[in-house]
Amino acid sequence: MKIPMYHGDEYARQDAAIFRMSHGGLKALYYCRKFEGTNVRIRTAGALRIRSRVIPGRWILNRAGTFWSFYTEPARKFVVPIPSNEVYWARGCSSRCADFETFGGEQRTSWRTVRTERECMACGKMFPRQQSSAWDHCCECICRWSAEMKTRDEIDIEAWFRPERVSIRADREGPSNNRWLRKFVAKEKFTRAEFKALSARLGNVCLCCGSWGPLVPDHVVPLAIGLDNSIANIQPLCKPCNNKKGNKHVDFRKNCKMSTERRSME
C-alpha cells in the first residue's frame, strides 16, 4: 500500500462546495451547502473520493470508523478495504445522514445538496436534474424525441435511451476502478525502470507469442487474487496476449527459462 496520506479538510472553510463524480458512464455535479443538522455519520456510501479519484459503488464503514470496504454492484462482491484516513469525502445513501461528508484528520463536515446537474445521455450537455426525476435526458432532447418518436425505428429508440458512447464508458468504469483500488492497496509497486530492465533481461519479446511488438506489464498472479504489484509478479506480454490471458494465473516465464537453459546447454 502507498504511504498513508494524512490530509486536512479542504472544504471545511467553505460554505458551499461542488462535488464531481461519474457513474454509469454519465457525469454529475452536486452543488451543496454546509449544515449542522445531524450527528448521524455516513456508514453506507454511494461514492468515495480517495486522493484524486472518485470511486462510485457500495462502500461500508466499519464500526471503529477506520476502514471503508468496497463491494461491486449489483453482485455486492467484496473487493478491497481502504483506510479511512485516505478518504477526502463520502456521498451518503440515506436521508438520516448528510448527503456528503468531507474529512480531514479528526474533523468531519456535513453537506446538503441544493442542486444537481447531470450529463444528458443524448446530447452530452449538463442540465439541472430534479432528484425525483428518473430521466437522464435534458428537456430539449425529451421534447425533440417525443415529437419524432413515431417516425423512429426500434434501433434508433434504443440508441437514444442508451447511446454507444455511454455504454462503452460505463463498461470501462467498473473494471478500471476495481483495478485502481487493487493497485492502491497492493503492498509493493514496481517502477517503469524495473519493467524495462525485466523486459531486456527476457529478450524484449512477448513471453506468450514471441512477438516484438509493444510490451505491457502483466501480473502472473492477477491483482484480483493476490494483490501483489511487485516486479516479482510481473511478466512482459503484448497487448493482445495480455487481454487474452485476462484474470488467469499463467506464468509464461517458465517457458523463457527452459529455452534459455537449452541454449546454454547447446
Taking phi first (over 0 means left), then psi (-120 to 50 degrees means alpha), and beta for anything else, what does residue 246 get?
Answer: left
Q: What does the pLDDT look like over 203-260, one tens digit per residue? A: 899 998 888 879 999 999 988 787 788 999 999 999 999 999 888 889 988 877 544 4
At residue 102 the predicted structure's pLDDT band, cuts being 50, 70 and 90, is very high
User: What does the block give as the cell for 76?
Assistant: 455486492
Q: In angstroms, rounded to a whole number, what is the distance separating the alpha carbons of residues 120 and 125?
A: 5
What SS3 class is residue 56? strand
For the full predicted model, state whether its pTM sits above 0.85. Answer: no
Which residue would you say has higher pLDDT here, 17 or 165? 17
Determine the pLDDT at residue 49: 96
- Cα angle 214-220-224, degrees, rounded to a multiple of 5: 110
Q: In angstroms, rounded to a whole number, what is the distance separating the alpha carbons of residues 265 and 97?
A: 70
Burial class (CB in 10 A: 0-12, 13-18, 19+), 195: middle
Determine the pLDDT at residue 18: 97
Which residue would you say has higher pLDDT here, 126 or 228? 126
Residue among 221, 219, 217, 227 nearest 196 (CA): 217
Residue with cell 485476462: 246
Burial class (CB in 10 A: 0-12, 13-18, 19+), 262: exposed
Residue with cell 517502477: 191
Q: What is the chain's Cα-based Rg? A: 23
Indicate whether 110 pLDDT > 90: yes
Q: Which amino acid is at 146?
A: S
